[in-house]
Structure 1
Amino acid sequence: MAYTILGSCRLAGVDPIEYLADVLPKLTRRIRLLDLPSLLPSRWAAARAAASSAT
């Protein structure tokens, strides 16, 4: 499973350490099933890019 996550980060151009540092704490809290796709590396990167361009 870890290899899959790291591979997905690589394909999305995401730093795996930064990704895991942000996503793992979110997974320890209750999260809605509908929100899980937003934690995929590609969507996570897109959301971060949108947030940084909005500021």
Structure 2
Amino acid sequence: MARRTIDMLRRNIFAGHDAGAENWSIIASLIETCKLNSVDPFAYMTATLPAIVNGHKQAQVIELLPWNYSR
């Protein structure tokens, strides 16, 4: 996603909402971390979010980080 597109989404979706802006910053950070580690962000989130919902242990969270993702 182009930098300009991310900035436009951030402004349009979360304008005026602190919680929304904080959530967006977390998502944008994950996307950029995936890119830096040559990981497809969509594939990463498609695999990781269900793992979290299905009870992945917090003590093993390091396994879910983008640089440990393999597919």
Q: TM-score range by the shorter chain?
A: 0.7 to 0.9
- Corresponding position of 1:30: 55
Computing the radius of gyration over CA atoms, which structure comes out larger, 1 or 2? Answer: 2
The structure, 1 or 2, with the larger RCO (C-alpha pairs under 8 Å, 6+ apart) is 1
**TM-score using structure 2 length:** 0.59
Instruction: Write 1 or 2 for the structure with the bigger share of helix.
Output: 1
- Once residues 41 and 4 of structure 1 are traced to their aligned partners in structure 2, the CA distance between those partners, rounded to angstroms, is 11
Q: Unpaired segments of 5 or more residues in structure 2?
A: 1-25
**TM-score using structure 1 length:** 0.74
- Once residues 20 and 31 of structure 1 are traced to their aligned partners in structure 2, the CA distance between those partners, rounded to angstroms, is 14
Q: Which runs of 4+ in 1 moved over 4 A?
A: none
Q: Percent identity among equivalent residues?
A: 26
- Please, what is the CA RMSD of the aligned residues? 1.1
Q: Unpaired segments of 5 or more residues in structure 1?
A: 49-55
The total of aligned residue pairs comes to 46
- Once residues 39 and 31 of structure 1 are traced to their aligned partners in structure 2, the CA distance between those partners, rounded to angstroms, is 9
